[in-house]
Amino acid sequence: MKEKRRDMPRIGSDRRIIERFSDARVTNSLKQTQLWLRILSGLILSVAVGEIVEGFLQGEARQFLWKVFVSTFLILLTVLFLQFSAAITFFLDNESVENLSRTFERQHTFWKTVGIFSVLFTAIYIVLKI
């Protein structure tokens, strides 16, 4: 349900109206998504640190570099998760249409990055196995 509310006090002839988007189903879904983004961020960051430690303890340079490469991707993924989560928080705080749009932009950025890295990892995997 869309509704327009006056968010800012009227100063002179200034009439700023911020368009709002309020829908309980959307806000509940975003809250659940945000929870899972935070849980997955913690798990992925733990895996990334574990990969770096394991690569360091193995002592083999090639394995260590691969583990660092994989960990870099995982850390980037975690950053994107946290940015998406922050965008959700910002939207839930004031429910403006502009913030909902930013939330979807963050989601788009996340999936675009995952797609690029998937192609990159597949290519590297094929090259290393040949």
> Cα 91–93–96 angle (5° rounding)?
45
Q: Is the pLDDT of residue 1 over 70?
A: no
Output the CA torsion 64→66→72→78 (10° steps).
-100
At 49-82, the pLDDT tens digits run 998 888 888 888 888 888 888 898 889 889 999 9
Q: Is the pLDDT of residue 105 over 90?
A: yes
Q: Who's near 70: CB < 8 A, 6+ residues apart?
A: 48, 51
pTM assigned to the model: 0.72
Q: Report pLDDT for 10.
A: 53
| Cα separations in angstroms, 103 against 44, 61, 74 | 21, 40, 21
- The average confidence (pLDDT) of the chain is 84
- Is the model more confident about 93 or about 8? 93
Cβ burial of 55 (10 Å; 0-12, 13-18, 19+) is: buried
Q: Report pLDDT for 5.
A: 52
Q: Report pLDDT for 57.
A: 87
- 35/53 Cα distance (integer angstroms): 28
Region 99-113: what's the mean pLDDT?
91
What values do phi and psi take at 2, rounded to 5?
A: -90, 140
